[in-house]
């Protein structure tokens, strides 16, 4: 199949999938922003549309007529090169354009993109489509996090559906690896981000890595042993964080009559002890590991072990800071604002999650969040 | 007509009017809360419903079945006696219940109230209905302020309609009053709030009060003369306020190519010089008066002059603090939280505005807001 | 005695008194600023010196040489007309000039002022000296508050001395007053501030006012009855204030093994039940009165009753907002920034305290603080 | 020489050196804390004393009598295991104990330590003395930073002295290194911290590293080229940081009539173009490197190149996050709170500075600060 037709098919599938994720929502759910890091679903569906309009249609379609002159201001996320924008914490103040208008915008841009793809465009255009598709897939995963946060903070705790649920894991024990030079980073097979480019060698010491993620039951032992009260287990910033935010359990957990419940997309229910613990910050992951007398893996250990691991239910916090690989080069132009500029004070997570779109995971993928983030689909794997 | 039937008719009209105010809105507009003092329209229509359920239906209707057990938590405003509630700044996080569910709640309660009213209830019940109707009328006015703020802060500046527009005023000059004892406060004719009860004498000095409100054109002279830059005109807190908030004009004004425009409910348009200046804080009103070598009236001077004044386009800032009248008694029970507990650090406004519901204005009415408030329908009348 | 000589004697006594208040301090105590409203003693002794230099010596002494060109920037308080200044919350960052240099500055200016006074200056100059002396006396009282706060928040709780202690009060009962017109405000006998000028009539209703201030023992009854936990007793802002600040007792009180202690300038000691309760905010005073089924007097009631009252141990919170009297005129020039610009969101206190300098109290004096202030020498008198 | 005698001599020299650093100060300078990260010199001299009392005298001297029971509360820094303490941002509120009392405390503890050292104590005791000496040396360097910040933010810009000045550097060009395995971390020769333990191999790619630090003149070119205005050069957090803090030049720089001046410990003077640029944050270092088309070295590259570099005028920002080495083990007990708990969101600096005490630098030393820190003696070395 020709590359443009293959891309067109993937493009259309991705566009549909974004809409499918939003299907269980009420119009009202598209609008709210209960914390600054959470974007309203309306914004996601507009922004993942704007990206194609801005970086493809405006540049490569002759006489392209923008859908609405103000939408670039409304749906730009953080691209300084593209101009001013609604400040992130204010996205939840936007009642207009109404959802149906954003959906119209979405369909208009989808249609124009399909036409562009069918016109046998240059490789440059196809490459940007590839970025756009991957960009939208990232927003699909964020959409799931944000929808869960929006619904999970409603007093009425509404049900979304059984999608995106995790399964029990139960393989005990550790895999062992020998010290030596290992190859890290993406080689050129399929799309990868600039932050994983530059395949290079890393010297690792002997290490062991656990076969399963830490379960809710194991995490409860930590809680019951006073883990949230023993400062010696915590990083200094982590301790300050849980004091200030009064955190005593993973996000979405509530203690009711002595039993732990949690909000899931399928409603409010008892914590399932055998499922992997979810919605913990890096700080909590690190404290748990410390309590076990172990540690979190580095991102290099993880990548080296990936082929043996059964990964993919939850993103796994590593003890690696998000930093450039040797010879890292950021892309030119606005697309260069994609990864490099976030390389400070973030932690790398590796793997993928039940919310990760099909085809959007690989062992070299470097996800990153601030150490205090809890609304993502994060879990804990131990190392020693 | 029997009192209960008369109340029923008024009750139904008021219920309809709240819904009429919301008619031009999109569903999305019902949800957002662009600043803490602004409540989402959905919240207003729920809260003005909850009030009857809480204070009437639950107490006086045998076997009354609440519409939803969680709505009391969601739609209570500030009544500590009634229990916990969603914190005011978080009202804009509520996507659920969806609007159509709140409308159902509204109709359910309206219907139950009509039945209660038709059942010839006690005077106690009728009195609380009277409070409920007046309470809802207050929220109707707040709804207009909040809708204007919500729409006026959208990048798309949508049009609502021609309702609630002000007219030009043009009677020059002042009315004069002689020093002496004047009667202040409500005597028992029709419904009044506890804060205006206790008719009593106040001794006033000679004073003069202007026949018209200050116009946009007059206010522009103050702006052009550097009024926002001359600290000697301002109260210390007012000066700090405009510095911190970078205020250089009334709310909703924008300078475009040397011309002043403002957002009105009918869209974004040139400032009409002859209309009364609107959306100024107490601090701006005071600074303007100071620049004119005059002052704002006290609430007592205003009430004494009211019969001669042509009032009603905009609430008028007075230089009176909101304090209890002699012998003020707050109502017992939760309804006692209505007025008295706000009697600190607020300024009294007198009169009414184009957004005030018919039948909800009288010369003894004491409205009150913080000195920095600008989103209400406020204007300036001078005194000397 | 000639007016200038009489003023010179008073001037010298006041200058000495400021220094006497600071005598028990360590050099280190002159420097710190444990909260924004508290100024370091070094700043007070510099500022009360700068006032004479700025408003007298620079203007009326030919070829006057300022002591140091930067001291105007350092020791100006809030006079916008005089230019830039160190921001109030940053006064505690100033280690330089060292205290001995400020004392030199102080003596230099004192000497120059004495020379000016001895030169038979104009009445205009003498009037400004009068303001300067009164200004310094106000700072003497603030010095006592600030010293107490500085020492009382040291972990070592150092002893200052037995000065400024209160006595027990024990006259029970109330004085009664009849409704009628009463004369309020200062007539021209001796120095008074612009905010008390404009003697005018006020009509008061019948009222009663208590003979003694509320005692610590009485206040403890309120505390023990759960006064700090019953929101119905509090103004809405007061309730928010004590929640946010976690206030459960007057400032400087600590519960140790079931007994209440408090820091006094004479050290940390058991609360004396018969002494008047001190260091309460307006909100606490109001809540206490509400618990007693009474209220706080207005400033007009207080002034009308003053001749019968035995006042002077503590400033008494009134339920009057600090607002201009009829025909209030602020002074021209920088001295006009003295009172008028603070006339919003402050409460009037009447009387005087054990920290008030001799000769600086009178029944028409209007003191004012924000409702949440607790570090001043404030107490409670009831009215009904 | 016996180990205890050798330590005694070093101990005494270090104790004297701390006092020598404070010699040019006024008493007042010991007290103030102009930002939360800066500690008052009084606190440093108390804290570096408390450390010996807490970890040595209390444990190893029979019947040791603490100098003052409250000093542990006052002079503990962040050791949760040792108990409560004055919150860091409140250190500048402590006027008591006065400086002379802290000096007495200091001499008392010094004397007791000398006695302990002379008593031929166990190796365990000698090891803790080693930590205590190194700990005090770290505070000596912080003292210099903090003194500079305290004096440099005084409006009077006082002179401290010519100590701690930098020299010009002028060796152009780069050293080149070949890819390969390099040994990183401390081997057991003399005292080292736990964070540099665990000598291990690291695989490095080819790299080059500059022979000199970036000079003020070179940095000015970046400034003049609009470096502080081009968001493409900055990390996202760095850009937000300089916007929020309105940063347009290194700390202590002022533009006066078109010429750049800076505060140095020797007073306010013109920026010397040939000296290394100082007082830049990691963000500024990174943006400068980005503007040059280069990057900052990693800490491993730096350590590998150290023997060739002429380092020691300023700490050099690396692009390495402060993370544990393989097999990192934190020390048991309270001393374990020394390094490990800070291993999140900090950047490593390597080398040393003119403010580093003699004998307290080595090529394996890992210094760390937050990326926004500017008051330390930091500079920029480039890599590519």
For the segment C250-260, what is each residue's pLDDT rounded down to a tens digit?
999 999 999 99
Query: Is B38 an interface residue toward A (CB < 8 Å)?
Result: no
- Mean pLDDT, residues D148-163: 97
**pLDDT tens for each residue of B35-60:** 999 999 999 999 999 999 999 999 99
Give the closest-approach CA distance of A37 to chain D in angstroms: 15
- Mean pLDDT, residues D12-33: 98
**pLDDT tens for each residue of C370-382:** 999 999 999 999 9
**pLDDT tens for each residue of D90-100:** 999 999 999 99
Separation between Cα atoms, residue B275 and residue B259, nearest integer Å:
16
Look at residue B276 in the predicted model and tell me its pLDDT.
98
- Give the number of B-C residue pairs with CB atoms closer than 8 Å: 77
Structure tokens at A192: 């990868």
Look at residue A339 in the predicted model and tell me its pLDDT.
81
CATH 3.90.850.10 is right for the domain spanning B174-379: no
Separation between Cα atoms, residue A303 and residue C163, nearest integer Å:
73
- Statement: residue B354 has pLDDT above 80: yes
Contact predicate D381/D208, CB 8 Å:
no
Separation between Cα atoms, residue D292 and residue D287, nearest integer Å:
9
* Chain A environment of D234 (Cβ under 8 Å): 341
Look at residue B257 in the predicted model and tell me its pLDDT.
95
DSSP letter string, C262-303? EEETTEEEE--TTSBP-S--HHHHHHHHHHTT-BPPPHHHHH
**pLDDT tens for each residue of D94-117:** 999 999 999 999 999 999 999 999
Which among D27, D93, D150 has CB closest to C153? D93
The chain D residue lying nearest C158, using CA atoms, is D96
Contact predicate A56/A116, CB 8 Å:
yes
Sign of the Cα pseudo-torsion (C147, C152, C155, C156, in order): positive
* Chain D environment of A239 (Cβ under 8 Å): 80, 341
Structure tokens at C342: 């603070």
- Statement: residue B78 has pLDDT above 90: no
Separation between Cα atoms, residue D328 and residue D347, nearest integer Å:
18
DSSP letter string, A326-349? TT--PPSSGGGGSSGGG-SS-EEE
Residue-wise burial string across A89-110, b where 16 or more C-beta atoms lie within 10 A, e elsewhere: eebbbbbbbbbebbbebbebbb
- Statement: residue C329 has pLDDT above 90: no
DSSP letter string, C77-102? -S-GGG-----GGGGGG---S-HHHH
Separation between Cα atoms, residue C179 and residue B77, nearest integer Å:
39
Look at residue A190 in the predicted model and tell me its pLDDT.
81
Contact predicate D129/D56, CB 8 Å:
yes
Tell which residue, B50, B56, B65, B75, has the closest CA to residue B8.
B56
Look at residue C83 in the predicted model and tell me its pLDDT.
82
- Mean pLDDT, residues C305-332: 93
pLDDT bucket at B174, cuts 50 / 70 / 90: very high
- Statement: residue D62 has pLDDT above 90: yes
Contact predicate B231/B239, CB 8 Å:
yes
Give this complex's ipTM: 0.95
- Mean pLDDT, residues A142-162: 97
Separation between Cα atoms, residue B228 and residue D115, nearest integer Å:
70
Question: Which residue of B69, B92, B96, B148 to mutate against A (max A Cβ within 10 Å)?
Answer: B96
Which among D31, D74, D154 has CB closest to C155? D74
- Statement: residue A279 has pLDDT above 90: yes
- Mean pLDDT, residues D182-205: 92
Contact predicate B225/B187, CB 8 Å:
no
- Statement: residue C335 has pLDDT above 90: no
- Mean pLDDT, residues D5-26: 98
**pLDDT tens for each residue of B100-115:** 999 999 999 999 999 9
Look at residue B204 in the predicted model and tell me its pLDDT.
97
Separation between Cα atoms, residue A12 and residue A111, nearest integer Å:
10
pLDDT bucket at B170, cuts 50 / 70 / 90: confident
- Mean pLDDT, residues B327-331: 82
Look at residue B238 in the predicted model and tell me its pLDDT.
97
State percent of chain B over pLDDT 70: 99
Number of residues that make up chain C: 384
Contact predicate A204/A344, CB 8 Å:
no
Give the closest-approach CA distance of B373 to chain C in angstroms: 14
Structure tokens at D368: 């760390």
Contact predicate B71/B46, CB 8 Å:
yes
Look at residue C330 in the predicted model and tell me its pLDDT.
78
pLDDT bucket at B83, cuts 50 / 70 / 90: confident
Look at residue A29 in the predicted model and tell me its pLDDT.
98
* Chain A environment of B42 (Cβ under 8 Å): 28
Query: Is C120 an interface residue toward B (CB < 8 Å)?
Result: no
DSSP letter string, B51-74? HHIIIIIHHHSTTPPPS-TTHHHH
- Mean pLDDT, residues B127-131: 95
The chain C residue lying nearest B333, using CA atoms, is C232
Separation between Cα atoms, residue B340 and residue C238, nearest integer Å:
12
Instruction: Report helix, strand and coil shares of chain D as percent, to nearest 5.
Output: 40, 15, 45
Number of residues that make up chain A: 384
- Statement: residue A330 has pLDDT above 90: no
Tell the burial category of B305 from Cβ atoms under 10 Å away from its Cβ (0-12, 13-18, 19+): buried
- Statement: residue B306 has pLDDT above 90: yes
Structure tokens at B53: 């359920």
Tell which residue, C352, C286, C353, has the closest CA to residue C321.
C286
End-to-end alpha carbon distance in chain A: 47
Angle at D180 between CA D177 and CA D182, to 5 degrees: 85
Separation between Cα atoms, residue D106 and residue D53, nearest integer Å:
10
Place of tokens 């009044």: B192
Look at residue B65 in the predicted model and tell me its pLDDT.
98
- Statement: residue A349 has pLDDT above 90: yes
Please give, one letter per residue, the 3-state secondary structure of B176-215.
EECCEEEEECCCCCCCCCHHHCCCEEEEECCEEEECCCCE
pLDDT bucket at C81, cuts 50 / 70 / 90: confident
DSSP D383: B
Residue C232: which region, alpha, beta or left (left: phi > 0; alpha: psi -120 to 50)?
A: alpha
- Which run of H or E residues covers position B150? helix B123-152
- Statement: residue C284 has pLDDT above 80: yes
- Alpha helix segments (H runs only) across chain C: 3-22, 41-52, 58-60, 71-75, 99-118, 123-152, 216-224, 236-245, 282-291, 299-305
- Mean pLDDT, residues C335-353: 90
The two beta strands, A378-379 and A315-321, are parallel
CB contact under 8 A, C26 and D155: no
Tell which residue, A2, A97, A110, has the closest CA to residue A56.
A110
DSSP letter string, D82-135? G-----GGGGGG---S-HHHHHHHHHHHHHHHHHHHHT---HHHHHHHHHHHHH
End-to-end alpha carbon distance in chain D: 47
Residue B224 to residues A21, B228, B286, B288: CA-CA distances in angstroms?
54, 9, 17, 12
Look at residue D80 in the predicted model and tell me its pLDDT.
84
* Chain B environment of C202 (Cβ under 8 Å): 203
Separation between Cα atoms, residue B290 and residue B303, nearest integer Å:
22
- Statement: residue C331 has pLDDT above 80: no
Contact predicate A126/A3, CB 8 Å:
yes
* Chain D environment of A326 (Cβ under 8 Å): 205
Separation between Cα atoms, residue C336 and residue A8, nearest integer Å:
74
Greatest pairwise CA separation for chain A in angstroms: 66
**pLDDT tens for each residue of B183-240:** 999 987 789 999 999 899 999 999 999 999 999 999 999 999 999 999 999 999 999 9
- Statement: residue C188 has pLDDT above 80: no
Ranges A195-209, D50-64, D321-335: which has the least confidence: D321-335
pLDDT bucket at B99, cuts 50 / 70 / 90: very high
Look at residue C178 in the predicted model and tell me its pLDDT.
98
CB contact under 8 A, A96 and B28: yes
Query: Is C87 an interface residue toward D (CB < 8 Å)?
Result: no
Look at residue A84 in the predicted model and tell me its pLDDT.
84
Query: Is chain D in touch with chain B: ≥3 Cβ pairs within 8 A?
Result: no
Separation between Cα atoms, residue C41 and residue C18, nearest integer Å:
10
Separation between Cα atoms, residue B237 and residue B247, nearest integer Å:
13
Q: What is the pTM of this model?
A: 0.96
Look at residue A91 in the predicted model and tell me its pLDDT.
95
Ranges A279-283, C154-158, C187-191, C208-212: which has the least confidence: C187-191
Residue D202 to residues A187, A320, A366: CA-CA distances in angstroms?
22, 15, 21
- Statement: residue A311 has pLDDT above 90: yes
Number of residues that make up chain B: 384
Residue B38: which region, alpha, beta or left (left: phi > 0; alpha: psi -120 to 50)?
A: beta
Which among A95, A154, A158 has CB closest to B31? A95
- Mean pLDDT, residues A319-348: 87
Q: How far is CA A99 from the centre of its chain?
A: 24
Q: Where are the domains of chain C?
A: 3-152, 174-379
CB contact under 8 A, B95 and A150: yes
* Chain B environment of C327 (Cβ under 8 Å): 205
């Amino acid at each position: 199949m020709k590359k443009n037709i293959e891309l067109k098919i993937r493009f259309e599938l991705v566009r549909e999938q974004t809409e499918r994720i939003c299907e269980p929502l009420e119009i009202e759910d598209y609008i709210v922003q209960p914390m600054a890091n959470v974007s309203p679903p309306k914004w996601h569906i507009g922004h993942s549309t704007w990206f194609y309009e801005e970086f493809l249609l405006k540049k490569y379609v002759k006489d392209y007529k923008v859908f609405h002159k103000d939408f670039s201001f409304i749906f730009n996320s953080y691209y300084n090169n593209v101009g001013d924008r609604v400040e992130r914490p204010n996205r939840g103040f936007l009642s207009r354009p109404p959802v149906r208008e954003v959906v119209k915008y979405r369909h208009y841009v989808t249609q124009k993109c399909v036409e562009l793809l069918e016109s046998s465009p240059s490789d440059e255009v196809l490459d940007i489509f590839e970025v756009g598709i991957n960009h939208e897939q990232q927003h699909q995963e964020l959409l799931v996090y944000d929808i869960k946060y929006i619904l999970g903070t409603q007093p009425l705790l509404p049900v979304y559906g059984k999608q995106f649920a995790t399964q029990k894991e139960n393989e005990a024990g550790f895999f062992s690896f020998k010290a030596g030079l290992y190859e890290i980073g993406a080689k050129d097979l399929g799309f990868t981000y600039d932050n994983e480019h530059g395949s290079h060698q890393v010297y690792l010491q002997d290490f062991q890595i656990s076969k399963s993620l830490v379960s809710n039951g194991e995490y409860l032992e930590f809680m019951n042993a006073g883990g949230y009260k023993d400062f010696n287990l915590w990083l200094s910033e982590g301790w300050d964080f849980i004091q200030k935010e009064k955190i005593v359990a993973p996000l979405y957990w509530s203690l009711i009559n002595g039993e732990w419940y949690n909000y899931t997309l399928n409603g409010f229910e008892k914590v399932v002890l055998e499922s992997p613990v979810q919605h913990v910050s890096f700080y909590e992951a690190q404290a748990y590991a410390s309590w076990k007398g172990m540690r979190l893996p580095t991102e290099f250990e993880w990548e080296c072990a990936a082929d043996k691991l059964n990964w993919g239910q939850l993103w796994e916090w590593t003890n690696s800071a998000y930093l450039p690989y040797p010879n890292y080069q950021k892309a030119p132009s606005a697309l260069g604002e994609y990864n490099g500029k976030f390389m400070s004070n973030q932690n790398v997570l590796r793997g993928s999650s039940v919310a990760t779109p099909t085809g959007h995971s690989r062992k070299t993928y470097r996800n990153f969040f601030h150490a205090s983030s809890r609304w993502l689909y994060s879990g804990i794997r131990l190392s020693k």
